[in-house]
Amino acid sequence: MPCIVDKGNQNLLINGCIISYPTLFTPKRVGKPGQETGEPRYSANFILPVLDAADVALLTQVATEAVRQRWPAGDAPATDATYQARILAVMPGGWWPGFSESHNCAKPPIDQYPDRFVLSANSAKDRRPDVFINGRLATPDQASQVFGGCVVNVVVRIFAYTRGSNGITVALNGVQLVDNVNVVRLDGGISAAAAFGVDTAFPEPTSPPPVQPGPAVPAHQQVAPGVVPGPVPPGPAQLGPPPSAAPAAPVAPPTLPGWMR
């Protein structure tokens, strides 16, 4: 089954690559420490899947179109007499050497994958490639999740150039992380999650605890719906003792008639 899909305008989707030396979130200059040259760029190497005849034909077609757009009617630069022959050549084993050797876009196989070849792609410092993890656009703080050895899908664009020299190059447009657990790290390390037997998936969200009802409101303090509450009348417990009866006024003794005194 073909691994490469034509997305039009010399853009290709390559599925099932193994990424190495990813520089996807912070652009870097090329070269050994202290010997870096050029402008900072985003870049990565992609170990291509084993290509079938349809993949090779598509790559050849896109490379040919890139040359024709740069040099119409097959007018290749006079300084590169064998340029078109080299760009269209396809060697046995799925090796596609259709890139300028000086630009070093195509690389020989690496020891871990002797039957697969490496494609180098890059983009300018102001064109950071889109990186998708778990279906979402990744942020720089997720850079450690994409390391050498991860399985990815990549979108690239092939085009010819005449800047200083003549050649054909690969622009890096986007990377989709497919697997970073069941992989072999190219730096020799292993997945800590796999070593510990830990499930790295995020747990399903749990339901919040049920809301406990509050204390019952005494009937004399309840307010009917739509009524603005006023001062709360005192309840039975808040009422004082009933007022005591006032003492009776003294009653004057009756006046006796004189004959009874």
Q: What pLDDT digit, counting tens, does each position of 138-193 carry?
A: 999 999 999 999 999 999 998 877 776 666 788 999 999 999 999 988 877 776 77
Q: What pLDDT digit, counting tens, does each position of 63-116 carry?
A: 778 777 877 665 555 444 445 444 443 333 333 443 333 333 445 556 677 777
pLDDT at 98: 38
pLDDT at 140: 95
Q: What is the model's pTM?
A: 0.64
pLDDT at 64: 76
CB 27 within 8 A of CB 125: yes
pLDDT at 91: 31
Residue with tokens 């603005």: 228
Average pLDDT over the chain, rounded to an integer: 75
Residues paired with residue 95 on neighbouring β-strands, in sequence order: 91
CB 152 within 8 A of CB 46: yes
CA atoms within 13 A on the CB side of 115: 4
Q: What is 4-29+39-189's CATH number?
A: 2.40.50.140
Maximum CA pair distance of the chain?
A: 168
